């Protein structure tokens, strides 16, 4: 059966909002709090990771024992700090607001799909506007976050659509892997780190000038 474009599934941090820079402050301060030093290798590995995975990556990279108590305390520190940083308007990525409006105008369903926990995602939605999305799925609302397909499969389920009729828009290797594993078409707009080219991935420099033809192309590039 030929796929039919039905919905667009949007990543948040680094795709719609220029919020990875806020996370950068938080994770670097957390590394100092843990008595370590953040390297660029560790920082890049954290981009796009779910909360639990990110904390494990950080602890392993810093050579710190990842006890349950330490992981919990680190998660609480980071959530508290990023909450402070996200209070108030968050900068948009280029073309993102117009792209959201365009998708709405096309009559397509729309979902926000993020590894960020719900409490912090709500700050992002304050800037983005909830009317752009029919549903939202957060990292603490699924069994496994990206790079597993769970967030995208859940979004499609909530929308009542086949994930193969959806195009996901992502900025990270982790997110692109998750979307492809779910069976979605994928448009990649790298932000903080490069994303490897791979079959089925369509690349753009930004969301500026996004068209329906771009979405259709991504859907059918998947094969």
- Residues catalogued as catalytic: 11
Indicate the Cα dihedral angle 192, 193, 196, 202, nearest 10°: 10
Q: Are 176 and 197 in contact (CB under 8 A)?
A: no
Distance CA(201)–CA(180), nearest Å, equals: 8
Strands 135-137 and 109-113, sheet pairing = parallel
Distance CA(175)–CA(19), nearest Å, equals: 15
Distance, C-alpha 82 to centroid of its chain: 16
Strands 185-188 and 201-203, sheet pairing = parallel
User: Tokens at residue 164, please?
Assistant: 């193969």
C-alpha angle 73-91-7 in degrees, rounded to nearest 5: 90
């Amino acid at each position: 059966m030929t796929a039919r474009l039905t919905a667009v599934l949007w990543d948040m941090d680094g795709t719609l909002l220029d919020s990875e820079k806020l996370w950068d402050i938080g994770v670097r301060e957390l590394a100092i709090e843990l008595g370590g030093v953040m390297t660029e290798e560790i920082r890049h590995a954290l981009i796009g990771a779910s909360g639990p995975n990110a904390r494990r990556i950080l602890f392993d990279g810093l050579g710190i024992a990842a006890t349950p108590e330490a992981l919990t305390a680190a998660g609480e520190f980071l959530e508290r700090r990023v909450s402070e940083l996200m209070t108030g308007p968050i900068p948009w990525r280029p073309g993102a607001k117009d792209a959201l409006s365009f998708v709405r105008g096309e009559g397509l369903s729309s979902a926000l799909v993020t590894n960020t926990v719900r409490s912090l995602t709500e700050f992002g939605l304050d800037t983005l506007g909830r009317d752009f999305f029919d549903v939202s799925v957060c990292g603490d609302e699924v069994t496994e976050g990206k790079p597993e397909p769970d967030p995208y499969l859940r979004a499609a389920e909530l929308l009542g659509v086949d994930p193969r009729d959806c195009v996901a828009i992502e900025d990270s290797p982790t997110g692109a892997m998750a979307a492809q594993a779910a069976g979605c078409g994928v448009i990649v707009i790298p932000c903080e780190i490069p994303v490897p080219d791979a079959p089925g991935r369509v690349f753009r420099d930004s969301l500026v000038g996004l068209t329906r033809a771009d979405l259709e192309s991504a859907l059918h590039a998947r094969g």
